[in-house]
Each structure stands twice: as structure tokens, then as C-alpha cells.
Amino acid sequence: MTSRTPRRFGRTLGRAPARAALVGAIAALLATGLAATPAHADPTLVITTPNLLLDQGSGATIAVSASTPQVWYSVADDQGNGAAAGVTTTGTIDLSSLGPGYYRLSAQAIEGSTTVTRSTSFGIVTPLPDGVVSASSPFGAATHFAQRQSTDLLPIARQAGISHIRDELYWEDVEKSPGQYTWPDYDGYITRASSLGIDTLLVADYGNPLYDGGAIPTSSAGLAAYANYADAVVGHYNMSSVEVWNEFNGGQFGYDPCGYTADCYLPLVKAVHDKVTADHPQVTVVGPADVGVDSPRATDLIRNGGINDIGAYSIHPYQYPGGPEWLGGPGDTLNGLRAILDNAGASRPIWLSEMGWPTGTGDNSTPESAQAADLVRLYAVALANGATRIYWYDFLNDGSDPSDIYQNFGMVRQPDPANGVDGYAPKPVLVAQAVAARQLAGKQYTGQDTLSGGAWSTRYGDGANATRIVWTSDGDGRVATVSASGPVTVTSQYGAARTLTPNVNGTVTLPIGTEPVYLSGPVTGVTGGASTGRITGYGGLCVDVRGGLTANGTPVQNYECNDTAAQAWTVAPDHTLRAFGKCLALDGGGTANATPTVLADCDGSGGQVWQPRNDGSLYNPQSDKCLDDPESSTTSGTQLQIWDCYPNPNQMWTLP
């Protein structure tokens, strides 16, 4: 919700041994400091790079200003693993060896026995390809240039693949005398945005004391004046779209004696539509900018004809904490809203002109890594359910108090000069935004793959050029089976990429979780979404890889449950049971009763297939037998086998 105060709108390092030793040595120095020297004035240290979202390669440097001749530094990746370390004598920290990702830098200046430490987050992304920032892109963000944010944010937005920004221009600041318009210093930021290829959506808000006592205009004169103001804004700034009010249905942005129903909104949107489209027929009038989805309101706007005055239907479907998958369900959801519009013959582009999750320590806040995942999952779900534009709320944190959620919706942190960070540092969500824009550039939603409950795979583009987003909404530790005719590139939400090669059956097993990954390459399908955990059997004992060894032929046994990796089995969609990246197999591929089970490389053979059945047994079709605990043993360390299937307790297994 817009406001007059800042609130929300509505692993390795190359040669591992040597590099690891270097990282360890430097980390030790950073932890303990250098040997004491004679007393000096406290050192100074400032991280001076203005934009800490860095392009991969030679552009990946961070500037520091220090009173000491040397600055020691270490870098950790998003998992906290050491990624780089060193010392600079030039004031420049060279990070050109790092790949795309989200990182944290710790730098230290040491003078005598005094150490000054400065820390910041930073991101590394691939250079922005042509065409990522475009009018057809769905990716936008809310800004607060009306509250005098710096235009230095705009190049960062472009680098992150933001193609649209949403801001506001207060009516009372523009029209201070009836019919006379004075323009605040907006030209600079709108012109700069336009020069960067970024389109601006301005919200025409709020009341003006010249009309209707500053309330939401309801009189003929007030409505005409409001429409004229909106029209003047469009003409002065050459806008392609204008949004009529902000969260009218919420009732918190102005008093309306009529109330806040769709019938009360109708005169406002009709006045703007009639005036603006008469003078600027190419302009899209956006509304109703409702807080929530409020899909019954769409029915009312269809009934009263207000839908005819709306070119793009905007909503602010905040619901935090928690993921965005509900938007694709039935009822008062994005999917439900689209159905109402479509069924009435009133289909419109649907814009999420605000949506986001706050971080920090306040009630209903979200961890920063989860905020990043929510952004990618939001894009996947919203684009799959009819949204054509999504404005993240908001681009810059509105403050620095972690306990106030309204200060912590942003993609970018406020500069922190008091702690030696002069520039704009990214939160993880900014890096995730940059990766999403690059991965999905120019691609339309084309469908979904069918996975088990709580697992998702959405597809953008066609054939071998398609990109998929794959994730789970109900926890980590699951797997999907990817069918492909060649190598598959898997890219994390922060841009780190790896290549997986299909096995002889043309499949790849892909661990998936709540942090989405992108798949690209000759992928023909994604199935599964199985879980990982313990398999328990007779006497409450667990299926266990003996000794936690990973060599082929290691016996698989029963054992007291201890939740070690030796008992973490993945029930894969291809009906294999996997631990340590290998499969539960029949020794030698045998099919006779009492053939023992072992761990072996997954090869797609029939001796590694275990089909769960309704009676709790695990059936091996090749042998026509079931997994069996010999003699119903409750003694830990008994190697499991196959035997003719019987409805006996020693053949009943509980899967994760």
C-alpha cells in the first residue's frame, strides 16, 4: 500500500588443497588479528563500491578505503562455505574468480592491537543480455521516488532485469491551485528510467484539499478535477499506463462518504478512463489495485460496467508468511479471478501491481533466503495462472529497523555508512530476481509437468529451448526424475549452474526442495517428487547401509534407527530406493529366495526396482518377490533379502 511515509505499497576454489590452506590461514589471521605492535590511532575502513550487485568477470571488484596499507578479506557463499580470501594493498578486492551467486564479504583493517571489521552482502550475476529488459517482460518493482529515493537505484534495477517500476505522484503536490499544475522534480528519474529501458507506472493518488475536503472525490467537480490531474500526469510524462487510486477497497487511503465498494469505485475509474483514453487512446488504465485478490469485487465491476473502464486488472494479493502456491488454487485466488473474468467474456491482463514478503525479525517476517525462493515461486505460479506483469514490493528497504516488517520488503538494503558500507547491497532476493529475468527472458508459460503433491514443475518456452522451474512447497529432501535426450543444465536460484548427464535410460535424478532450480536443455518431462527419510520395518528397526560405507556390494541390513545418512533413503519416482546416491539392489541381480540386498550403482536394472504395494510390502517385479527381514529378526545387523511375498509383518515397510 502506498503511503506518505516509507511503508509498503499496499564450493571449491580451484586447486582445493592449496586454496583451502590459504583460506584457512587467512581466516585464522582474521579471527586472531596480527601480532601486537605499538599503539596507533584506530584504523578506518569503508566499503565504498556504490552498487554491490556485480557483473561476473573483470567487473567483479569491491573498492575499500582504509587507513592501513593492507586490508584482509574473506568471502562466504550463501551456504556459509568459504569462497575466497586474500589481502589487498590497492584498495580493490578482486572477485573475478567467483561464479554467479549470493555472497557475504568480511574485510578487516588491523592497526596494532585494534581491528576494524566491515561486512556486506554482494551478488555476482552474468552480464545482462540484450532483450532482458523490455516492454514485454513481466518483471517490475515498486519504488519510492515520490519520497526522494536516489535515481542511482535505477541502473541496479536494470541490472537485475527489472523492466517496469511503479511509483506515485500525489495529486495535492501537482495541483495546488485549481486547474494549475506544477511538476515536482520527477523528470530526472522518469527520463533516466526511460533511458535505461524501464517503463514507469504512476499511481494517481490521493485526495486534494481543493476538492471534497481532501477526501476521495465524489462530487462532479472533484471527479472531473481528479480525471484532469491523471490526464495531465500521463501527458506530461508520456506514460503508457496509469493506475487509478491504491487499495481503494481497503479504506485506509482516503475517506469516501459512499464507502469502499465496487459501486463507489466506479465513478473514480470511469472519470479517469473517459478523460485519459479520449486524449491518449494508447494508454492503459489500470485498476482497481485491490488489497488481496477480492475476486467477488470483479463480479461487481462486471455487473456495474466498471470493468469496461479497466484495461489491466490489478491486485495486491499479500499473504505472508507462507508460499505463493495458493494463488493457483480455486476460490478467492489469482486462478479464481482469472476464471471470473474469462467466464464473463471480460478477460483482461492481470497485473500484480504489488506483491512481496517482508524479512527481518518482526511478526510474520520471512528469512531472507525464503524471501528469495518466494519470489521465484511467485513468478512461476503467477505466470502459470494468467498474470502478465508482477511488481515486487518493493525495490529498496524503506528503513533499517529489522523489527519493523514494513521497512523490510525490499530487494536492496539501505546504505549503512555508520557501519562502513556506503553503497547499495543486495538481499538474496535481488540476486534471485536477476537470475529469474535472465532465465525466463522472452519465454511464455507453456505448461506444467505432473509431479506428486507438493512438488511443482512449470515450463516456459518450447522443446529443447524450454526452461523449467522445479521446486517443492512442503519441504526439502525430495527428488524428481528428469527425462532428457542429452545433458541438462541445473541452475540455482542464485545462478550457480551445473550439468547432469542422463543415465542409459535417459533420466536424471534431481534433488528438489523449497529453493527452486531452473532446468534447461533437451528435457522431455519431469515426474515424481518423492521424499527422503528412514524406512522402518519389523520390530521398528530401520533399513541401514552397513557401517555407512558407500562401496558397491555393501550389505543393506536392519539396524536400530539413528537418523544417520546410512538410513536416509530416497523413494525415487523410478521405483528405486537410494542412499548415498546409490541404489538398493539384489546381489548379482539374483532372483532366488534368500538373495541378499546390497548397495550398488544405480543402473536401471530390474534388480533395483522396488514397488510399494497397498499391503506395505516392497515388491521386486523381476524376481516376483518381496523385500524380507529374514526369520522376522529383531537383531540389528541382519542383512535383508528377498522372499516369496506373504502378508507377514517381516515384509511390511513404512516409507518416508
E-only strand ranges, 449-496? 455-460, 467-472, 478-484, 488-492
Helix (H) or strand (E) holding 164: strand 164-170
Alpha-carbon gap, residue 224 to 147, rounded angstroms: 27
Q: Which residue has the higher pLDDT, 160 or 10?
A: 160
Identity of the amino acid at 8: R
pLDDT confidence band for 12 (50 / 70 / 90): very low
Backbone dihedral region for residue 213 (phi beyond 0: left; psi -120 to 50: alpha; all else: beta): left
In the predicted model, is pLDDT for residue 34 greater than 80?
no
**% the chain with pLDDT above 70:** 93
What is the mean pLDDT of the segment spanning 82-103?
A: 97
Per DSSP bridges, beta strands 114-125 and 101-111 are: antiparallel
Q: Are 414 and 163 in contact (CB under 8 A)?
A: no
Cβ contact 142:151 at 8 Å: no
User: If you average pLDDT over residues 324-338, what whole number do you get?
Assistant: 94
pLDDT at 4: 36
- Quote the pLDDT of residue 24: 53
Which residues is 555 bridged to in the sheet? 598
Residue 530 has what pLDDT?
64
Average pLDDT estimate for 324-333: 94
Write down the residue that cell numbers 528510467 correspond to: 193
CB 118 within 8 A of CB 107: yes
Residues 342, 345, 346, 350, Cα dihedral to 10°: 20
Task: Return the bridge partners of 64, or none.
Answer: 47
Burial 569-593 (b: 16+ CB within 10 A, else e): bbbbbbbbbbbbebbbbbbeebeee
Per CATH, domain 533-651 is 2.80.10.50:
yes
Q: Shortest CA distance to 313 belongs to which of 332, 290, 331?
A: 290
CATH ID of 141-353+393-398, from 3.20.20.80, 3.40.50.300, 3.40.190.10, 3.90.1300.10: 3.20.20.80
3-state helix, strand, coil in the chain (%, to 5): 25, 30, 45
Q: Is the pLDDT of residue 531 over 90?
A: no
Amino acid 6: pLDDT:
34
User: In 4-86, which ranges are continuous DSSP H helix?
Assistant: 16-32
| pLDDT digit string, tens, across residues 19-31 | 444 455 555 545 5
For residue 7, what pLDDT band results from cuts at 50, 70 and 90? very low
d(CA 359, CA 348): 32
How much is the average pLDDT of 245-274?
93
DSSP element (H, E) containing 518: strand 517-520
Kindly report, residue by residue over 449-482, the tens digit of the pLDDT: 988 778 999 999 998 899 999 999 987 767 788 9
Share of the chain above pLDDT 90, in %: 80
- CATH architecture of the domain covering 445-530: Sandwich (2.60)
How is 319-377 classified by DSSP, letter by letter? --SS-SGGGGSSSSSHHHHHHHHHHTT----EEEEEE----SSSTT---HHHHHHHHHH
pLDDT at 553 over 60: yes
What is the pLDDT at residue 26? 52
Q: What is the mean pLDDT of residues 300-319?
A: 97
State which amino acid sits at residue 483. Answer: S
- The residue that leads in pLDDT, 448 or 475, is 448
pLDDT value at position 644? 96
More confidently predicted of 256 and 239: 239
Give the Cα separation of 493 and 191 in Å (integer): 32
Per-residue confidence (pLDDT) for residue 39, from 0 to 100:
52
How far is 134 from 235, CA to CA, in rounded Å? Answer: 22
What average pLDDT score do residues 139-166 get?
A: 94
**Which residue would you say has higher pLDDT here, 1 or 638?**
638
Nearest residue to 163 via CA among 496, 433, 349, 424? 433
| Residue in this structure with the C-alpha cell 511515509, named with its chain if needed | 5
Q: What does the alpha-carbon distance between residue 491 and residue 31 come to, in Å, rounded to a whole number?
A: 34
Kind of pairing between the strands at 241-244 and 199-205: parallel
- Over residues 488-527, the pLDDT tens digits come to 999 999 999 999 999 888 988 888 889 999 999 999 999 9
Q: What is the pLDDT of residue 157?
A: 98
- What integer pLDDT is reported at residue 573 of this predicted model? 67
List all residues 6 or more positions away from 194 whose beta carbon is below 8 Å from its beta carbon. 200
User: Is residue 241's pLDDT more than 90?
Assistant: yes
What is the per-residue burial (b if ≥16 Cβ within 10 Å, else e) of 341-351? beeeeeebbbb
Mean residue pLDDT of the chain comes to 91
The answer to whether residue 240 scores a pLDDT higher than 60 is yes
Q: Which residues, at least 6 apart from 542, have a Cβ–Cβ distance to it below 8 Å? A: 534, 535, 536, 558, 559, 560, 561, 562, 567
Residue-wise burial string across 615-648, b where 16 or more C-beta atoms lie within 10 A, e elsewhere:
eebbbbeebebbbbbeeebeeeebbbbbbebeee
pLDDT, tens digit, for every residue of 42-81?
A: 899 999 999 999 999 998 999 999 999 999 999 999 989 9
Is 100 or 26 the better-scoring residue by pLDDT?
Answer: 100
Structure pTM? Answer: 0.80
Domain with CATH 2.80.10.50 in the chain: 533-651
Output the pLDDT for position 572.
Answer: 78
Q: Give the list of residues 6+ apart from residue 43 with CB closer than 8 angstroms, or none.
A: 66, 67, 68, 109, 110, 111, 114, 115, 116
8 Å CB contact between 500 and 611: no
- Please, where in the chain does CATH 2.60.40 lie? 445-530
Asked if pLDDT for residue 146 goes beyond 50, the answer is yes
Backbone phi and psi for residue 517, each to the nearest 5 degrees, phi listed first: -125, 155
Query: Which tens digit of pLDDT belongs to each residue from 350-398?
Result: 999 999 999 999 999 999 999 999 999 999 999 999 999 999 999 999 9
Query: With 70 as the cut, is the pLDDT of residue 256 above it?
Result: yes
Location of C-alpha cell 515384509: 651
Q: What is the DSSP letter of 261?
A: S
